[in-house]
């Protein structure tokens, strides 16, 4: 899967000095304990930027396409672009396959261990860390003092309309069964929070913090979207803060009615 980019394609790799690019790549690799070719660095807008070999820059981006999990990997200075689709959102196969194909296009020998083996090992480590974090969170919730296990106010006090200039006007409602729901704004995806139309249950974790999505303690996990409520000068619930975007601090949603 290869195509040459016609518009916006760089005609030279001299935008970064070659020696500087080597130094950056090797320093990042040493810091992460990874081979030089996979020195990952976070950029912005969901785009990863990393030195590739000694002269190239690799860009790649995760996403969704036609109900499939996708990965686009690009070597912009050489005009290569690869798209890999899988039916498993968290599968390491996308990155392993993309890097294997790029190596073949560049005439590079496969690394040892292979990309597939390296990414599979990383998944095992990540799953163990996630399981430990989940257990620590559940212990924290369980051991919260009794006064923190119930909200400060009755649930009706939180059932209000809130707004943020960029993220819309979510409505927290009280269901007929007596449970809080966040409607018109938030649901929980398999990998990270996202704000889309719909309703989601709110699970009280501790003090004035609730989680979006779970119905029981067993469904709670550390990266789950949370809302933290705050009182105003009049002593009533005036806003909630929520980290609706990865890599950003929690954003305030102000009560409007």
User: What is the CATH number for 225?
Assistant: 2.40.128.600
* Co-location of 210 and 164 in the same domain: yes
1-32: buried (b, 16+ CB within 10 Å) or exposed (e) per residue? eeeeeeeeeeeeeeeeeeeebbebbeebbeee
* Co-location of 98 and 168 in the same domain: no
By residue range, what is the domain housing residue 71? 18-112
| Within a domain: 150 | no
| pTM, full prediction | 0.54
Query: For the chain, percent helix, then strand, then coil, each to nearest 5?
Result: 25, 30, 40
* Co-location of 211 and 162 in the same domain: yes
Residue 158 has pLDDT above 60, yes or no: yes
* Co-location of 190 and 128 in the same domain: no
Q: Is the omega angle on the peptide bond into residue 62 within 30 degrees of 0, that is, cis?
A: no
In angstroms and rounded to an integer, the radius of gyration of the C-alpha atoms of the chain is: 23
* Co-location of 169 and 216 in the same domain: yes
Least confident of 38-47, 76-85, 212-221: 38-47
Residue 18 has pLDDT above 80, yes or no: no
Residue 117 has pLDDT above 70, yes or no: yes
* Co-location of 198 and 245 in the same domain: yes
88 contacts 108 by C-beta, under 8 angstroms? no
Q: How many domains is the chain partitioned into structurally?
A: 3
* Co-location of 131 and 171 in the same domain: no
Q: How confident is the model at residue 6 (pLDDT cuts 50, 70, 90)?
A: very low
* Co-location of 95 and 25 in the same domain: yes
* Co-location of 56 and 121 in the same domain: no
| Within a domain: 149 | no
| Within a domain: 5 | no
**Stronger pLDDT, 7 or 112, i.e. the higher one:** 112
Using alpha carbons, select from 35, 31, 32, 39 the residue that is nearest to residue 57: 39
| Within a domain: 214 | yes
| Within a domain: 8 | no
* Co-location of 170 and 251 in the same domain: yes
| Within a domain: 1 | no
Q: How far apart are CA 94 and CA 46, in angstroms?
A: 16
What average pLDDT does range 38-58 have in this prediction?
A: 55
* Co-location of 202 and 248 in the same domain: yes
234: tokens are 């009049």
105 phi and psi angles, rounded to 5 deg: -65, -35
233: tokens are 């000068």
| Within a domain: 7 | no
* Co-location of 79 and 164 in the same domain: no
Q: Which helix (H) or strand (E) holds 255?
A: strand 251-255
Q: How confident is the model at residue 52 (pLDDT cuts 50, 70, 90)?
A: low
**Stronger pLDDT, 254 or 60, i.e. the higher one:** 254
Q: How far apart are CA 216 and CA 139, in angstroms?
A: 14
Residue 201 has pLDDT above 80, yes or no: yes
**CA quadruple 202, 203, 205, 206: dihedral sign:** positive
| Within a domain: 86 | yes
């Amino acid at each position: 899967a290869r195509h040459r980019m016609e518009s916006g394609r760089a005609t030279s790799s001299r935008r970064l000095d070659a020696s500087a690019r080597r130094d950056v790549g090797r320093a990042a690799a040493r810091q992460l304990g990874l081979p030089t070719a996979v020195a990952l660095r976070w950029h912005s807008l969901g785009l990863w930027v990393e030195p590739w070999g000694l002269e190239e820059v690799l860009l790649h981006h995760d996403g969704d396409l036609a109900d499939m999990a996708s990965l686009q990997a690009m070597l912009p200075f050489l005009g290569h672009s690869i798209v890999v689709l899988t039916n498993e959102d968290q599968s390491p196969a996308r990155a392993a396959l993309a890097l294997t194909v790029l190596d073949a296009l560049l005439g590079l020998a496969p690394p040892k261990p292979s990309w597939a083996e390296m990414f599979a090992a990383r998944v095992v480590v990540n799953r163990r860390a996630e399981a430990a974090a989940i257990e620590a969170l559940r212990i924290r919730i369980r051991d919260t003092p009794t006064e923190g296990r119930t909200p400060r106010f009755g649930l009706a006090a939180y059932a209000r309309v809130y707004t943020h200039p960029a993220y819309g006007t979510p409505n927290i409602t009280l269901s007929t069964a007596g449970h809080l729901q966040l409607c018109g704004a938030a649901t929980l995806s398999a990998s990270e929070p996202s704000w889309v139309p719909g309703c989601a249950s709110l699970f009280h974790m501790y003090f004035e913090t609730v989680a979006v999505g779970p119905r029981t303690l067993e469904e709670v996990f550390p990266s789950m979207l949370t809302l933290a409520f705050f009182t105003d000068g009049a002593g009533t619930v005036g806003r909630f803060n929520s980290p609706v975007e990865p890599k950003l601090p929690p954003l305030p949603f102000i009560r409007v009615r």
